[in-house]
Structure 1
Amino acid sequence: MDWLGLRFGNELPADGQVLLACSHNTWLVLLAFLVASAAGYCAFDMAERVANAQQPENRRRWSWLGAGCLGGGIWAMHFIAMLAFEAPVSIQYDIPTTALSLLLVTSACLVGMHILGRPRITTSQHLSAALVIGLGITAMHYTGMAAVRSPATLHYQPTLVALSVAIAIGASLAATLLSAFFRNPDEGRHLLKIPASLAMGMAIFSMHFTGMQALQMTVPVGTALIPTATDNAQGLGLGLAVIAGMVLLFSLGVAWTDKKLQSKEIDLQRVNGLLRELEQVKVALQNVAHVDPLTSLPNRRAFNEFFAEKLEQHARHQHSLAVMFLDIDHFKRVNDNLGHDAGDQLLREVSERVRAALRREDMLARLGGDEFCVLASLENLAEAKALAQRIMEQMKAPITLAGRTFSMTTSIGISLYPDDGETCEELLKHADLALYQAKSSGRNNLHFFSRHLKNKATFELQLEEELHLALSRDNGLFLTYQPILDLRNGQVVKLEALVRWQHPQLGLLPPDRFIGVAEANGFIAELDAWVLRRACQDLAILAGEGFPDLRVAVNCSALNLCRDDLVDEVKHTLQAHDIHPRRLELEVTENALMSNVNQALYLLECMRSLGLCISIDDFGTGYSSLAYLKRLPLDTLKIDRSFIMDLPGSHADMEIVQAIIGMAHTLHLQVVAEGVESREQLDFLKSHGCDFIQGYLISRPQRLDGITDFLRQQQGSVASNVLPLRPNPT
C-alpha cells in the first residue's frame, strides 16, 4: 500500500538492496528528546492557562498559543530527530509537504486544547482529545517522512507502524489526564510537571523512533553510496532546537506572566470580596450597635446620637421638646413568676403599644431592661400630658402571657426643653427624677420634672456622700437605747438599739431621714454591720457595769435578709466581742419578711441555730398570715405603736390588740407593745396579758451612759417594789 510515496508492507522489491548501515547522531537524538520534553511542559502550562482563563477571548488565545507550542515542539523534535538520522544516501525535504506536517499536528493540538479548556472534562472527552492529538502526531510524523526526497525508496512494516500509532494515542491520553491534574494551581503539583514532562517527552520520542524502526530504505543495485556528513545536520538541528526553545521559553514566560497577573487579579478579587464582606459586617455591626435585638427599637447609643441631633435642631428653631421616661410597673414580678421568655414577650408588646400611641415624627427607644424613652416635639405641657396619657391608656389593654391574662401599667417621667435643661444629660436626668417621683407616688402615674425634685435629689446625693463618709470614719453616728419592760416582774430585761446621726449642719437626724438613702444606694448592709458591732461593744460594756443578762435588740433591713453572708457576719461579730448569742435579738419588719419568705425563712433558721432571738417588728402594718407566722422561727411579736396610741379610747384598736396578743400566745410567742405613753395604756395591756412594753412611759431612747444610769435607778425601784415609770426628756 502506497501513501504520499510511502510503501507499507513486509515484502521488499526483488531488484532492490536493503540499506542496513543507517544510524543516528547521539547528541541530536538527546536534543530531540529535550525539545519533546520542553514541548510537553509548555503544553501543561498552556492547558492550565486555557482552563483558568476568565474570558472566552483569552481562552481562545491561549488555545492557539498552546496548540502552537505543543504542535511546533513535537514537529521540531521530529525534524531534529530526522537530522540525527544518518544514511549513506543524500536526503532532502519537500517544503510544502513539511509545512503540511506542521499544519496537521498544530490543528490536532488546537482541537485538543479546545477540549481540555472546558470547565469539566468527561472520560469520553479525554478519549476524544487523546485520539485527535495522537492521530495528529502520527499524521505529522508520516507526512514529514513523506517529505523526504532521496534516491532510496521508503518501506514501512505495518506492525511497527500500528505500534507507533498506539504509542502516540496512549501518550496523548496520558497528556490529557495530566493536564487535568495540573490545571489547579498548586505548588506541590507544579513541581511534578518536570518529571511528567520528561515522561511525556520520552513517550513522544518513543513514538518517533518506533516509526523510524518500522522504516526500511532500498536503492537500486548500483546506486552510488556517499559518506555520511553530520556537521551540517548538527548545525541545522541545533539551530532548530534553539529556535524551538526560544519559542517555548517565550511562551512559558508569557504564561508565567499571565499566571502572576491572574494570581494578582484573584488576590485583588479576594481583597475586594473581603472588603465587601467587611462592609457588610460593618453595616451589620452598626445595626447591632444601634438596634435593640429584642424589640427592634433604637438602643441607647442610637438614641443618644439622635437626641443630640434633635436637640440641636430644636435649639436652632427655638422649639420645645419633651423627653419621656417610661418604666413598666412591677415588671420584675412577671420575670420572677412567669419566666424571662414571658418578660421578653411583654417588652415586645409594650414597644408595639407605645409606638401605636405615638406620632410618626416621635422617636421611641429602649434604653435597657424595662426602660423606654420617647422624644416628642411639643408646644406645651398640655400636649405632653395628653401624649403620656394616651400611652398609659394603650398599656392598660389586657395582655396574655404564659396562658395568663392581666393588665399592665406604666409610670412616666417627663422633662421639657428648654425649661428643664439645655443638654441631653440634663433632660435625661431630670426625666429620670420625674419617673422616680411617679413611681414613688403609687405607680401608674405621670409626673413632670420640677426644681423641687432636683433640690431633693441634690440633697439626697449630698446626704449619701456624707453618710458614707460618716460610716468610713466612724464619726457622727451613734446608738441610743430604749428600755423594754417585762410586765411580769417589772424589770427592764432588754433594750432596743436605735441608730442616730449627728449631722454637722442638719443636727440630729432620726433613722427615717437616712435609712432610705442607705437602702437606695447599696450600703445598708454596711450601716447594719456598724450598728451590730457597736451594739455588741456596748453589750460588753454593760456586762462590765453589772448587767450581764441584759439583751439588746437590733434592727435588720429587708435588703439584708437577702444576703447569704449575713449569718457569718453576725457570728463573727459576736465572737469578736465575746457576746453570748442569747443576749442579741434580731428585729425584722413584717413587710421585710413577707417580701421574700423562703429566703428569710432560711436565714432566720440559721440565726436561731446560732442562739439568737428573733422578733417581728411593726406587726399589724403588713400583710402576713398565720400560715407564714407558724413557719417562721420567731420568739416575739412587737405590736406597732399605731394600734397603741388610741388605747383605751378606740374600741377597734382594743379588739385588734387583744386579737394579736391571743394569736401570739397561741403560737407560743411573746408580745411587746410599742409606743406606750400613758398609765391607762399600761393597765389595758397588762390586763390582757401583754408580756412587755416599750415607750416614753418607761423612758425615751438614751445614749449608753444615760441608759446605764437609768438601769441602776430601775434596779433600786424594783428593790422597793416601785414600777420605774419615769419619762426622761433627754
Structure 2
Amino acid sequence: MDWLGLHFLPSMPADGRTLMECSHNPLLILLAYLVACAASFATLDIAERIGHVDNATARIRWRGLGALCLAVGIWAMHFISMLSFQAPLEMHYDLPVTVASLAIALIAGIVAMETLSHQKLQPAQYLFASICIGLGIAAMHYVGMSAMRSGATQYYEPVRFIASIVIAIASSLAALVLAIHLRQGSGVFHQLLKYGASLVLGAGIVSTHFMGMWALHLMVPAGAQFQPPSTENSLQLSLTIALIVLLIIAGSVSAALADKKLQAKERDLKRVNALLSQLDQARVSLQQVAHFDALTNLINRRGFNQIFAERLMEQKLAQGMLAVMFLDIDHFKRINDSLGHDAGDELLKVIAERIRSATRANDVVARFGGDEFCILIALHNTDEALNLAQRVMHKMKEPIALSGRRMVMTTSIGISVYPQDGETSEELLKHADLALYQSKGHGRNSIHFFSANLKTKASLELQLEEELRAALREESGLQLYYQPIVDLRTGHVAKLEALVRWEHPTHGLLTPDRFISIAENNGLIAELDNWVLRRACRDLGQLTEPGFEKLVIAVNCSALNLAREELLEEIDSALKEAGVAPHRLELEVTENALMGNISSTIMLLKEIRALGVALSIDDFGTGYSSLAYLKRLPLDTVKIDRSFIIDIPRSPQDMEIVQAIILMAHTLHLKVVTEGVETPAQLDFLSHYGCDYVQGYLFSKPVPLSALRPLVQQLNMRRPASLWPSTAMLEAVNLTVHGPGTQLVLTDSSDPRMDRFRPRPAK
C-alpha cells in the first residue's frame, strides 16, 4: 500500500525478504539527543527573549533566530540519528532531498516562533499550532528518510507511523506550553526548570525519530549481496554537523543572554531616570509640604520655627520686640465628634482664614496641628499684641455656617513677649503654651500673657508628678481618710466614703484638688484609683467587730478609669484579696463620667453590678446627664452635690431643686445621699423631705482609719431623734417649703441654666 510516496506494509511481500540485522550506534544516538536538548533550550531561551522585547523589529529578528536554532537542531538530530543507523548495505543520501527536509524543519520552526510571539494563547490555538509543528517535524523526518539511497525498499508499519506523528504533535504541544510558561521568571530555580524542560523536550524529539525508525522495514530482493556497515565516515560527519549546530545554538543563546543583560541595564537606566524625575518632583513637593500645612495653606510648625529663628535674630540686632501667640479653638473636639472630621476640616479652613484676615501683612500665621495655631508679630509695646489678640477673638465670634448649622467658635490665647519672657524660640514657645494653658484653665475664651508664676507653677506640677509616681511605686505617703455617711432612718453610720490624701514630705497633707488633675493629665489616675480601691477593701476587711461588720465603703472612680475594660477585673481582684463581700463596696462615679460614652458605660456598670457591687452617681445636678439615660443606668444611689445644700435655707431655688431630686430618685427606686451637710437646719430640711443618707461636717470631717472606730461608735450611740431639730425649728428659721399639694417641675439637668451651680470643692 502506497500513500504520499511512502510504502506501507500491511503484510510481508512475497518477492523479497526483510532485512533484520539493522542496528544503531549508541554514541551517535547520545550525540543526537544532546543536540535535540540544546535546540530545545535555545528555543525556550529565545522564546523568553521574545516575550521581553518591546521593539517590533527586534522581535522579528529574535523569531528568525529562534526558528533557525529549532530547525537546524531538529534536523541535525534527525540526520545524526540517520547516520547512527547501521545496515549491511551500501547507503548514501540524496542532497536535494536532504536540503528539502531542512527547509521543512525551518518552516516548522517559523510556525513555532510565530506562535510563541503571542503573550497568551487559547487552548484551540495551542492545539492548532502544535498540530502544524508536529506535522512539520514528522514531514521533515520522513522526507529525510526518503533521501536515504540503498538497494533496499523502505516500507512502514502504519500503527508505528501514526504513533510517530502523534509523538511529534505531543512534543510540540509540550514545547509551546513550557516555552510560554517559562518565559516569565528569574533566578536559579527558574533556570533549573528550563534545563529540565529541555531534557524532556529533547527526549520527545528523539522519540519521534526513533518511533519512525521502528516503523521502518527495509525490503531487499532475494539474492542481494550484503556488506559490513562502515561507521568511520558516519562518525566524522555526525561530529561535524553536531559541532556546527551546537556552535549556532551556543551563539544564539549567548546573544540572547547578552541582549537580556543589555535590556536589563536599559530597563534599570530607565527606572533610574524615572526615579530621578520622581525624586525631583518629590523634592519640590516635600519643600512645599515641609513648610506649609496642606489643609489651610498656612505655614506649618517647621516653617514657623525657621522663620521664627530668622525674625528673632533680626530683633536681637535691632533690639526690638516680638510676641508669640498660641491659639487653641475651644471645644473643637465636639465638632469632630458630632459632625465628623470632614466638617472639622472645613471649619479649620474658615478659622484659618479668619485668623489671617485679623493679622497684618508682616505677621506670621501658622498651624501647628489639630486646632492649634500660632502667630508671630513684631511690636513696639505689649498693647499691640493684646489688640491683635482681641481682633482675632472678635473675628472668631462671627457666626460660621457649617453642615446646615450656624455656630460661633471661641478661642483661648496665650502670649509670650521677647525679650522679657525668653531669649530663645524654645523658651518663648514654651511660655506662650503655659499662658495658653492658663487661659483654658480660666474658663477658656480668654487672653493671658505669660508671667513668672506660671513657670513656677508648671515646675511645681512637674515635680509633684514625679513625686506622685514615686509615691505610687513605693506605696509611701498616700493615705485614705474616711467620712461617715449617716442613715437618717436609724441614726447610725451606714457607709464610709474613702477619700485619698497625700502626706507630702515638703507641702504637708495634700487634698485631692492638688494632685488628682496631675494624675489625670499624666496617665496615673488608673494606678491611683486602683491603689485607693485595694486599700479601701483591705481596710474594710479589718472592720469586722460588732457595729462595723455591715459598713459599706464608697470609693470614687474617675471618668478616665471608668472607660477602662480592666476596671471590672481590678474590682473583683481587690474584693477577693481582701476577703470582702461585694455588697459592702459601693462605687461612686460622677455624672459627667457616666455621660461620656453612655452605651459602653451602661454595659460596664451592669457587669460591675453583677458582681454585687453597689453603684452611686456622685455630684448629681452639676453635670449634663439626661433623665432618659439616667433611668437606664443600673444605679443604687444618687448623691446630691453640696453646692445645692450650702445655701439652704437661704435659697428657695436650691430647696426646690433638692426636693425635685429626692422625689425623682425615689420615683426611680434610688436611695439619696446628700453631702456637705453642716447645719441642723439643713439636716432638718433633708429629713423632712425624705433624704435617706447624709454626710458632712455636722457629723465629722474625714478621719484616718486609726480614728474611725471611736468616731463611729460615738455617732452610733446617738438616737435618731437627737440628730435633728423638730419641724417647729424648721418653721422658726423662716424656711420656705412647699407642702404636699405643691406641684414640682422636674427639668433635665442638661439644661444650660444648670451651669450656675459650681462643682463642690475637693473633699
- The answer to whether the superposition gives a TM-score over 0.5 is yes
**Deviation at 1:524?**
3.6
Structure-2 residue corresponding to 1:243 = 240
Partners of 2:687 and 2:449 lie apart in 1 by 52
1:1-400 equivalence runs, <5 A? 44=40, 48=44, 51-52=47-48, 54=50, 55=58, 56-61=60-65, 63-64=67-68, 85-86=89-90, 104-120=100-116, 178-179=171-172, 181-182=174-175, 184=179, 186-202=194-210, 235-254=232-251, 257=254, 311-312=305-306, 314-315=308-309, 318=313, 329=331, 331=333, 335=337, 343=340, 345-346=342-343, 349=346, 371=370, 396-399=400-403
Partners of 1:566 and 1:721 lie apart in 2 by 41
Contact 2:673–2:695 (Cα < 8 Å) also in 1: yes
**Deviation at 1:417?**
11
**Deviation at 1:711?**
6.1
Shift in alpha-carbon separation, 1:84–1:580, aligned structure 2, 3 A:
closer
Partners of 1:556 and 1:167 lie apart in 2 by 98
Partners of 1:378 and 1:79 lie apart in 2 by 100
Partners of 1:522 and 1:260 lie apart in 2 by 65
3-state SS, counterpart of residue 503 of structure 2:
strand
1:557 has 2:557 as partner: yes
**Deviation at 1:392?**
5.6
Q: Which amino acid aligns with 1:240?
A: L
**Deviation at 1:652?**
3.7
Contact 2:23–2:85 (Cα < 8 Å) also in 1: no
3-state SS, counterpart of residue 463 of structure 2:
helix
**CA deviations over 1:57-93 (Å, ceiling 9, x no partner):** 3443454566556667767777898997449xxx9x9
Partners of 1:488 and 1:62 lie apart in 2 by 107
**Deviation at 1:655?**
4.5
Q: Which amino acid aligns with 2:401?
A: A
Partners of 1:671 and 1:126 lie apart in 2 by 94
Q: Which amino acid aligns with 1:118?
A: E
Shift in alpha-carbon separation, 1:652–1:721, aligned structure 2, 3 A:
closer
Partners of 1:491 and 1:171 lie apart in 2 by 112
**CA deviations over 1:411-447 (Å, ceiling 9, x no partner):** 6777889888899988887777666556545567787
Partners of 1:701 and 1:516 lie apart in 2 by 21
TM-score, normalised with respect to structure 1 = 0.63
**CA deviations over 1:249-281 (Å, ceiling 9, x no partner):** 434544565576678779x589969999x989x
Q: Which amino acid aligns with 1:244?
A: I
Partners of 1:393 and 1:177 lie apart in 2 by 85
Contact 1:39–1:73 (Cα < 8 Å) also in 2: yes
**CA deviations over 1:608-655 (Å, ceiling 9, x no partner):** 788877665544434556666666676766554434444444444454
* More moved, 534-543 vs 185-194: 534-543
Partners of 1:505 and 1:523 lie apart in 2 by 21
Structure-2 residue corresponding to 1:507 = 508
**CA deviations over 1:455-488 (Å, ceiling 9, x no partner):** 4343223223323333444433344455566777
Partners of 2:489 and 2:86 lie apart in 1 by 140
Shift in alpha-carbon separation, 1:438–1:375, aligned structure 2, 3 A:
closer
Q: Which amino acid aligns with 2:516?
A: I
Contact 2:38–2:249 (Cα < 8 Å) also in 1: yes
Structure-2 residue corresponding to 1:222 = none
Partners of 1:638 and 1:134 lie apart in 2 by 102
Shift in alpha-carbon separation, 1:418–1:81, aligned structure 2, 3 A:
farther
**Deviation at 1:118?**
1.4
**CA deviations over 1:283-330 (Å, ceiling 9, x no partner):** 9xx99xx9xxxxx9879xxx99x8557635653574789796867836
Contact 2:541–2:578 (Cα < 8 Å) also in 1: yes
Partners of 1:586 and 1:382 lie apart in 2 by 47
Shift in alpha-carbon separation, 1:484–1:456, aligned structure 2, 3 A:
same
Partners of 1:695 and 1:629 lie apart in 2 by 26
Q: Which amino acid aligns with 1:398?
A: L
Shift in alpha-carbon separation, 1:199–1:427, aligned structure 2, 3 A:
farther
**Deviation at 1:180?**
5.6
Between the aligned residues of both structures, percent identity stands at: 33
**Deviation at 1:190?**
2.0
Q: Which amino acid aligns with 1:502?
A: E
Contact 1:109–1:136 (Cα < 8 Å) also in 2: yes
3-state SS, counterpart of residue 621 of structure 1:
coil
**CA deviations over 1:343-392 (Å, ceiling 9, x no partner):** 454455556656777989987686xxxx4566777657589959976996
Contact 2:89–2:227 (Cα < 8 Å) also in 1: no
Partners of 1:640 and 1:717 lie apart in 2 by 26
Contact 1:409–1:444 (Cα < 8 Å) also in 2: no
Contact 1:47–1:113 (Cα < 8 Å) also in 2: no
3-state SS, counterpart of residue 115 of structure 2:
coil
Q: Which amino acid aligns with 2:519?
A: A
Partners of 1:532 and 1:376 lie apart in 2 by 46
Structure-2 residue corresponding to 1:293 = none
Shift in alpha-carbon separation, 1:440–1:46, aligned structure 2, 3 A:
same
Shift in alpha-carbon separation, 1:527–1:194, aligned structure 2, 3 A:
closer
Shift in alpha-carbon separation, 1:194–1:589, aligned structure 2, 3 A:
closer
Structure-2 residue corresponding to 1:468 = 469
Shift in alpha-carbon separation, 1:273–1:166, aligned structure 2, 3 A:
farther
**Deviation at 1:556?**
1.5
Partners of 1:491 and 1:30 lie apart in 2 by 117
Partners of 2:334 and 2:572 lie apart in 1 by 33
Contact 2:540–2:580 (Cα < 8 Å) also in 1: yes
**CA deviations over 1:588-610 (Å, ceiling 9, x no partner):** 54444555666666777777788
Structure-1 residue corresponding to 2:460 = 459
TM-score, normalised with respect to structure 2 = 0.60
**Deviation at 1:454?**
4.7
Number of residues of Structure 1 aligned to a counterpart in Structure 2: 649
1:515-534 equivalence runs, <5 A? 515-531=516-532
Contact 2:95–2:147 (Cα < 8 Å) also in 1: no
